[in-house]
Amino acid sequence: MGDDLHGFVAETRVRTFVDAVQWLANAAVTHYPESAAMTISCTTCDDTGWVCENHLDRPWDGPRACSCGGAGAPCPACNVPAEGEAAPMPEGFRVEIDKDGWRH
């Protein structure tokens, strides 16, 4: 009887886990339909345009972001500025200091 009970509990846990994963996937598509259609065109930076300065193969932001604490650098695959130009900054970026000093 003990073995049957443990098998039932294990099967129930697996079934519950699978149900939870399926529910989360359905909820994501239902509440965020655009995420289901999203595709990543640059796998180096996950379309953020920025990578870790110390690890150029890891995104600087997002779910797969590098956690080493290094500075961000333009993605060498998709965010290469023209000669003499600066790379486009990420959305929400605010300059605090530049060659002319502090900005307020």
Q: Is the pLDDT of residue 65 over 90?
A: yes
Q: Is 101 helix (H, G, I), strand (E, B) or coil?
A: strand
At residue 74, the pLDDT reads 92
Q: How far apart are CA 7 and CA 18, in angstroms?
A: 16
The reported pLDDT for the residue numbered 28 is 56
Q: How confident is the model at residue 57 (pLDDT cuts 50, 70, 90)?
A: very high
Q: Is the pTM of this model over 0.85?
A: no
How large is the average pLDDT for residues 9-27? 60
Q: C-alpha 76: how far from its chain's center?
A: 18
Place 59 in a pLDDT band, splitting at 50, 70 and 90.
Answer: very high
